[in-house]
Amino acid sequence: MASFDDIVRIYQVDRVELTSWIEQRWVRPVRTTQGLVFDAVDEARVALIRELRQDLLVDEDALAMVLNLLDQLYAARQMLRTVEDAIEACPESVRREIRARLSRADDPTRL
């Protein structure tokens, strides 16, 4: 867990900019009696935003869209993992049928 000052120092971000990212809910640190605390997910997100803003020069409007799309992709991946877990809990005959249907769906020659 990192403090606000730790994040500013480690990721070399401007305090005002980091505050803006928090206000826009791009990162969501927890407020404690000692101040804001960033978990590993928030730190990774700060690193990503910093790279997009400073290294790739993505403007704020585009960044909001990129982060939204990444969040949607992450949610879809989580849902797929849930589906995979549910399939693994099914009897083998059901798993075989699902695999067969999925392989047919992947066939580009099939209309």
Closest to 52 (Cα-Cα) out of 36, 70, 37: 70
Last residue of a domain, one of 27, 42, 58: 58
What integer pLDDT is reported at residue 78 of this predicted model? 96
Per the structure, the complete domain to which residue 1 belongs is given by 1-58
Chunked into runs of 10 residues, the chain (111 residues) has average pLDDT values of: 95 95 95 94 96 92 94 96 95 93 77 54
40 and 75 belong to one structural domain: no
The span from the CA of 45 to the CA of 57, in Å, is: 16
pTM of the model: 0.74
What integer pLDDT is reported at residue 39 of this predicted model? 95
69 and 33 belong to one structural domain: no
What integer pLDDT is reported at residue 111 of this predicted model? 54
38 and 86 belong to one structural domain: no
Answer for the pair 27, 35: CB distance below 8 angstroms, yes or no: no
| CATH number assigned to the domain comprising residue 42 | 1.10.1660
Q: Lay out the sheet containing 35-38: strands in order across.
A: 2-3, 35-38, 30-32
